[in-house]
Chains A and B, each alone.
Chain A
């Protein structure tokens, strides 16, 4: 009777909801990476020479670097020469001015994903900058943002239209040679998003970008830069999903956030890229560098992430608390099921006085999923009266999955107060039975308990995302009780 492991398997085998593939002719550069390819990418994008040189510097740095090995992740070596570094929808020369001009197949794809691209379907108040493979194809709500003086565009457009801003801030948080994957991204990034919120402006709507990986064997290297000028505020949502495929795909994004005096940036991610099948075949390799620089006094940067997808997640959204009284937050839910692996966490680097950081990490492992929380809290000698609170909880479903915690603390100022709490628990048979004995199905019960476990993080998400995140968690963990 009831929860036997084969039921569990049947449920989890439910095919990846977003697994389909759109047929669009792509303009793809042959696999391989050298300086010529980088020149070609830069050329195709009509970039200024300084940016080409910047890319080449990154490439040279990358060539001298080695793949990091400290993470708690296993995978076959990645052949960087087997990857194609550029792919764009064919129609890019005459980029669409409105949705009518967008390839209907593309729109169909987005619709299947439930991305509200059509204006009538748009969630009220959300502007979408959709990225299909490497080039942005549609941007909405530009007008309203324009009125407020907010710049929200694709990275390529920013390079063309706001070169000074890009030049000033690009690489100022994550330098080209920061780490292996950031260096690779800096050399070959194709597109991404750019946001600038002028002084004193509260962005009138939540900004949202959906990334999607499509063409076969195309690594995707997104670059996002968000600058919040003095006294400004912005909430940015990033959601991702990808079609099913067999070969592993590399994704190495870089996100840089800059918050000047009194500015406030909230960055939320829901990541549900293809996690691979039940045998661990396929799935996205997600190696991301995300960092925010709370550069100004009284600035605040808040990361919220819900990571349910990808075969491999390697990601540590971090905050440099440089300004006095600046605040950094990290709220994370990471789910690993089937054969997914995640090594994720954050770094809070306290430099300014009275800086405060909060870390709430909820890890859920099911089936053979394996994950590690890796967090660093560093209180520099200059950071008088710094405060950190870290709470790090793991929930295990079944006995084949794993959870590990690697908290690092470096406290170099005696006035610091650092608190760390960690728990690991198994999803309670008692809790499940309790819910079921009240008439709730096992699936719904798991969902409810897991959502309860994640509540402290979900409440940080913007409304639309909170709902999506809960649904996603349900799909990811369907029947994953053992």
Chain B
């Protein structure tokens, strides 16, 4: 599904990603952990196609297509979704209006008819339940005045409506209270399917108790320096990152 080879990327002429390799197969869940500032969000943004992030070497293939050639909206239409670490507020733009425009743009790109208001609302009501989204949030401006947790929940709600093939969840667990974390995790689990892959960027092993990853990677200083399974996450929780870095430096 996703194949990243030797990916180098810059932000403002600073090298942030320094050779990332990652293979993700359909249905797999990969957790990416790593110290602050190691490049996790950068990787997520590069995948989603943010303008000011320049790929300087390497390639990203998503279902065989070269992502570098595609605009962010084309990537979204191809089935990529990024749940942002810091979802942005858009004053005056109705939350579900944006979502409807998004869904219909994606449907159009697939040659499907736009959903009318009734069909769309039916889908919305159904998917809202997955993350127990507060109904009031539907008609508020996008993320404006949402609490931190509400923003994160809204991201997962959007994912549930847009049904991407590959979802990148950038620290969706940060800022969620214990109950909310559980609810959101359940929502994510409900979205799991053999065709849908996910990348979970997280600092906490707790999320991985709820959403079982197939692989866990450590990203440090722009590179994946260690990969493993669930056990690795537990080990990181106990021992921190220093030992992994030393191990990598020694190798």
Contact = CB atoms under 8 A, between A and B. Distances in A.
Chain B associates with chain A: yes
Interface stretch (B67-75, B118-126, B188-196): B67-75
Interface residues of B, number: 35
B71 A448 contact: no
Given A438-B162, A444-B101, A428 B88 contact: yes
B52 interface: yes
Interface in B40-56: 48-52
Interface in A7-63: none
A436 B101 CA distance: 11
B101 A440 contact: yes
Contacts of B99: 438
Interface residues of A, number: 26
A1 B101 contact: no
B88 A434 contact: yes
A449 B101 CA distance: 13
B72 A436 contact: yes
Given A449-B93, A452-B141, A437 B88 contact: no
B162 A431 contact: no
A455 B162 contact: no
Contacts of A455: 91-92
Contacts of B84: 434, 437
A453 B91 contact: yes
A2 B72 contact: yes
A433 B72 contact: yes
A358 B97 CA distance: 28
For A3, A433, A442, A444, the residue with the greatest tally of chain B CB atoms inside 10 Å of its CB is A433
B51 A456 contact: no
Interface stretch (B102-110, B131-139, B220-228): B102-110
Nearest to B76: A439
A413 interface: no
Given A3-B51, A448-B98, A442 B90 contact: no
Given A441-B73, A448-B93, A435 B98 contact: yes
A440 B73 contact: yes
Contacts of B93: 448-449, 451-452
For B75, B84, B88, the residue with the greatest tally of chain A CB atoms inside 10 Å of its CB is B88
Contact of B105 (A2, A439, A452): A439
Interface string A409-433: 0000000000000000000111101
Interface string A450-462: 0111111000000
Contact of A435 (B81, B90, B103): B90
Contacts of B105: 438-441, 444
Contact of A437 (B48, B52, B92, B109): B48
- Chain A at the B interface: mostly helix, strand, loop or mixed? helix
A435 B162 CA distance: 13
A394 to B, nearest CB: 14
B46 to A, nearest CB: 11
A456 B88 CA distance: 20
Contacts of A436: 49, 71-73, 76
A115 B17 CA distance: 56
Nearest to B79: A439
A37 B63 CA distance: 75
Contacts of B90: 431, 434-435, 448-449, 452
Contacts of A434: 84, 87-88, 90, 142
A449 B98 CA distance: 10
Contacts of B50: 433, 437
B163 to A, nearest CB: 12
A306 to B, nearest CB: 15
A435 to B, nearest CB: 7
B92 A453 contact: yes
A2 B54 CA distance: 11
For A430, A434, A453, the residue with the greatest tally of chain B CB atoms inside 10 Å of its CB is A434
B77 interface: yes
For A439, A454, A455, the residue with the greatest tally of chain B CB atoms inside 10 Å of its CB is A439
A267 B230 CA distance: 66
Nearest to A4: B51
A442 B92 contact: no
B87 A2 contact: no
B156 interface: no
A414 B149 CA distance: 46
Contact of A452 (B69, B81, B92): B92
A2 B141 CA distance: 26
A414 B186 CA distance: 60
B162 A439 contact: yes
B111 to A, nearest CB: 14
Interface in A72-131: none
Nearest to A454: B92
A422 to B, nearest CB: 15
Given A438-B73, A438-B76, A439-B77, 14 more contacts: A2-B72, A429-B52, A431-B90, A433-B50, A434-B84, A437-B48, A437-B50, A437-B72, A437-B81, A437-B84, A439-B162, A440-B101, A449-B93, A452-B93
Interface of B: 48-52, 68-69, 71-73, 75-77, 81-82, 84, 87-88, 90-93, 97-99, 101-103, 105-106, 109, 141-142, 158, 162
